[in-house]
Amino acid sequence: MNSTVIQTQQLTRDFGSLRAVDHLTLEVSGGQIFGLLGPNGAGKTTTIRLLLGLLPPTSGQVRVLGLDPLEQGEAVRSRCGALLEHAGLYERLNAEDNLDFYARIWRMDAPARKKRIQQLLEGLGLWERRKETVAEWSRGMKQKLAIARVLLHRPQLIFLDEPTAGLDVPTAAALREDLLRLVAQEGATIFLTTHNLSEAEKLCAQVAVIRQGQLLALGSPQELRARAGRPSLQIFGRGLDDHVLDSISRHAGVNGVQRFNDHLEIDLKEPTDTSALIKLLVEQGVHIEEVRKSSVSLEEAFLSMLEENHVH
Amino acid sequence: MFTDVLTIISKEWKEMFMARGSMRSGLFSMLIMVGLLGIFMPLQNGRDWLNNPLLILIWSWVPVLITLSMVTDSVAGERERHTLETLLASRLPEAAILLGKIGAAVFYAWGIMLTGLLLGAVTINLAFPASPAFYDLRVFGGVLVFSLLTSWLFSSIGVLVSLHSKTARQAYQKMSVVFLLLWFIPMLVIQFLPQEIKAGLSARLMTLDLNAVLTLGLVILLIADAALLLVCLSRFQRRHLISL
């Protein structure tokens, strides 16, 4: 599925004098994980609420799965799953009852409910603990259960609002793995908000960066990184003399070279085949001990975008 | 819509029974209520429990009180525990959620009242043996309908109060004041009236055209219930329930 699943045109939402979403124009294709990145208070949660028809926009248009969430809210929400800011679990109930309640809401019949709940809980390693009251569970387990709830009715489009926020590093990594595996199995489109840049880089095919409700950038994580700066290559070894420096700087894929005490720092033009450069160095008689390829991280790109926008 | 309402009612009841940590303690609380209405009060009042309509009318505050705590917990409490937004993000229409929440409180409380009254009749017949007796059917039916409509009325007020309260506790406190003013104080005054005045009132009540009185009271309650329900339906909308 590659057709457009989310389309917003100049979407704006005000809360009194505060503009939470400011003329946001987005297009999200199906079958991918799309990341909406931004600092706290950037308007990510409000955007999800607008897309789900939980709030009416102040101005602008929204189409989700070809439908208007405000006019056809029930039809949109029937095809979507949402893990919002909070897990939204009934902590007095056990895991099975939590899922059973939502499965009834999605009008699944008894055998289908039972089968699907077992499939999801087993998939997330929670089946053995299904009779435990959710209040007794750790935050990581609750998030897993909330994800199971989101996937229950096999939605076409899934909204995840900061799914790993507040989790420790191993739990967040495990949850990400579960998420990727389940998404591959279910084949749904995911609209993910996060301020965790490495998470977005690992999961998302496309990302949009927003700040104060305004769109700053849209593209793949690679494209966003490329916009912020070019990759570089560090060469450690012996024989890095002026002659080598000169021949490397004349290479088509090289933007510039600098020599430090023990290594060369080569600024690359992207895309560059680094193996050709290594071969050239070896031919020049350099004894290479170590090669480090570095590029601007999405986090650096993100910060530079925020800074740039702030300055302007 | 009806199935959705039933789904909400069943969830609300499960949550209520589990509120003290286990199903057993939830059932125990319910049995205490039924025991109070069906065993303790009838034993205290003897055969008067079946014959004096004022007695069961006075005790019809029980379902109203149960309704208050349930409805404030299910509306203000659900918002406080951050489960309401997830529920609103589902396909359920707002009306089904609202009716389910009101219905869960009203039918639980009313069920306790009905069970308590029926058990009361059994208790009287067992504890004070004489010829088999039951409530005057008109009084019995009237009290049941009256308590149903009153519970519904207070549930609707509870929803509106909950929508304007930050926490379930705050909503319950506000509702307690409303209940005290509208229900408990008048009932307490009747309870502590001198015996001869109470007997006079009771005799007067029996001589009144009970059908006309009940019909008028029920019509007034029905109109109030319908009006408040409409207000609740207009307020219980996603756009009002979700804030920044």
Please tell me the least confidently modeled range out of A35-39, B135-139, B177-181, B211-215: B211-215
| CB of B7 less than 8 A from some CB of A | yes
Q: Which residue of A has its CA nearest to B239?
A: A55
DSSP-based three-state secondary structure for B46:
coil
Q: Where is mean pLDDT largest: A91-100, B138-147, B234-243? A: A91-100
- Nearest alpha-carbon partner for A97 in B13, B98, B82: B13
Other CB atoms closer than 10 Å to residue B6's CB: what's the count?
Answer: 16
A50 has pLDDT over 90: yes
Whether cis (ω within 30° of 0) applies to the bond prior to A271 is yes
pLDDT in tens, B75-98: 999 999 999 999 999 999 999 999
The pLDDT tens digits for A207-221 are: 999 988 999 888 888
**What's B79-109 look like in SS3?**
HHCCCHHHHHCCCCCHHHHHHHHHHHHHHHH
> pLDDT, tens digit, for every residue of A110-159?
999 999 999 989 888 889 999 999 999 988 889 889 989 998 998 999 99
pLDDT tier at A272, thresholds 50, 70, 90: low
Average pLDDT, chain B: 87
Q: A140 in contact with B at a CB cutoff of 8 Å?
A: no
pLDDT of B232 reads 94
Whether pLDDT at A312 is above 60: no
Nearest chain B Cα distance for residue A97, angstroms: 9
Q: Which pLDDT score, from 0 to 100, does residue A123 have?
A: 84
Judge whether A44 and A210 are in contact, CB under 8 Å: yes
ipTM, interface predicted TM-score of the complex = 0.83
Residues of chain B in contact with residue A95, where contact means CB-CB under 8 angstroms, are none
Indicate the length of chain A as a whole number.
Answer: 312
Q: For A84, which residue in chain B has the nearest alpha carbon?
A: B86
Which among A46, A90, A105 has the least Cβ separation from residue B83? Answer: A90
Tell me how close the Cα of B61 comes to any Cα of chain A, in angstroms.
28
- Over 70: is that where the pLDDT of B125 sits? yes
CA distance A299 to chain B (A): 27
Chain B hits for A58, Cβ within 8 Å? none
Instruction: Identify the CA nearest to B89 among candidates A196, A197, A73, A202.
Output: A73
Cα dihedral sign, A207-A209-A213-A216: negative
Q: What is the pLDDT of residue B208?
A: 75
Share of chain A above pLDDT 70, in %: 95
**Chain A residues 228-287 with CB within 8 Å of chain B:** none
Lowest mean pLDDT across A69-73, A235-239, B18-22, B235-239: B18-22
Q: Where are the alpha helices (DSSP H) in chain A?
A: 44-51, 73-79, 95-105, 110-123, 139-151, 169-186, 197-203, 221-228, 242-249, 274-283, 298-311
Q: Considering only CA atoms, which of A199, A85, A188 is closest in space to residue A143?
A: A85
Scanning every residue of chain A, which has its alpha carbon at the shortest distance from the alpha carbon of B26?
A: A92
Give the least confident one: A291-295, B93-97, B99-103.
A291-295
Q: Tell me how far apart the alpha carbons of residues A59 and A146 are, in angstroms, rounded to a whole number.
A: 32
The residue ranking higher by pLDDT, B59 or A176, is A176
* Nearest partner of A103 among B10, B19, B15, B103, judged by Cα: B10
A67 touches chain B (CB under 8 A): no
Beta bridge partners of residue A4, listed in sequence order? A29
A184-188, A237-241, B236-240, range with greatest mean pLDDT: B236-240
How many Å lie between the alpha carbon of B74 and the closest alpha carbon of chain A? Answer: 11
Q: What number is the average pLDDT over the span A89-113?
A: 95
**Burial group, residue B181, by CB count within 10 angstroms (0-12, 13-18, 19+):** exposed
Predicted local confidence at residue A105, as pLDDT: 95
Put simply, the answer to whether B88 touches A54 (Cβ < 8 Å) is yes
Give whole-number Cα distances, B74 to B15, B16, B19, B67, B242, in Å: 9, 9, 11, 10, 16
Provide the 3-class DSSP secondary structure of residue A168: coil
Task: Note the pLDDT tens digit of each residue in B9-50.
Answer: 999 999 988 887 788 888 888 899 899 889 998 898 888 888
Label residue A28 by pLDDT band (50, 70, 90).
very high
The type of residue at B5 is V
Question: Which amino acid, A135?
Answer: A
Q: How far B233 CA sits from the closest chain A CA (Å)?
A: 16
Which residues is A21 bridged to in the sheet? A13
Q: What is the pLDDT of residue A310?
A: 62
**Which of B3, B81, B244 is facing A20, going by the closest CB pair?**
B244
Test the A interface: residue of B238, B240, B241 with most A CBs within 10 Å: B238
The beta-carbon neighbor of B89 closest among A15, A52, A56 is A52
B87 touches chain A (CB under 8 A): yes
At residue A14, the pLDDT reads 93
Whether the pLDDT of residue A307 is over 80: the answer is no
- Beta A157-161 vs A189-194: how paired, if at all? parallel
Percentage of chain A with pLDDT > 90? Answer: 43
Nearest residue, CB atoms, B86 vs list A53, A88, A93: A88
Looking at the partner chain, which of B83, B90, B242 has a beta carbon nearest the beta carbon of A49? B242
Please report the pLDDT score of residue A271 as a whole number: 60
Contacts of B243 in chain A (CB under 8 A): 15
Residue B11, min C-alpha distance to chain A (Å): 7
Helix-strand-coil split of chain B, %, nearest 5: 85, 0, 15
Other beta carbons within 10 Å of B138: 12
pLDDT, average across residues A271-284: 80
* Cβ contact, residue pair A92, B82, below 8 Å: no
Q: Residue A185 and residue A148: Cα distance in Å, rounded?
A: 13
Point out the least confidently predicted range of A267-271, B11-15, B40-44, B70-74.
A267-271
What is the reported pLDDT for A276? 82
Which conformational region is residue B89 in: left (phi greater than 0), alpha (psi within -120 to 50 degrees), or beta?
A: alpha
Q: How far is B229 from chain A (nearest CA, A)?
A: 22
Shortest alpha-carbon distance between residue A37 and chain B (Å): 19
The span from the CA of B201 to the CA of A305, in Å, is 80
- Which residues from A are below 8 Å from B90, CB to CB? 77, 102, 105-106
Average pLDDT, chain A: 86
Query: Using the beta-carbon criterion (under 8 Å), do A92 and B87 form an inter-chain contact?
Result: no
Query: At A310, is the secondary structure helix, strand, or coil?
Result: helix
CA dist B14 to A90, A267, B158, Å?
Answer: 10, 64, 20
Nearest CA in chain A to B238: A54
Contact A88 B82 (CB under 8 A): yes
Contact A145, A89 (CB under 8 A): yes
> Which strands form A232-238's sheet, in the order they lie side by side?
A254-259, A263-268, A232-238, A287-294
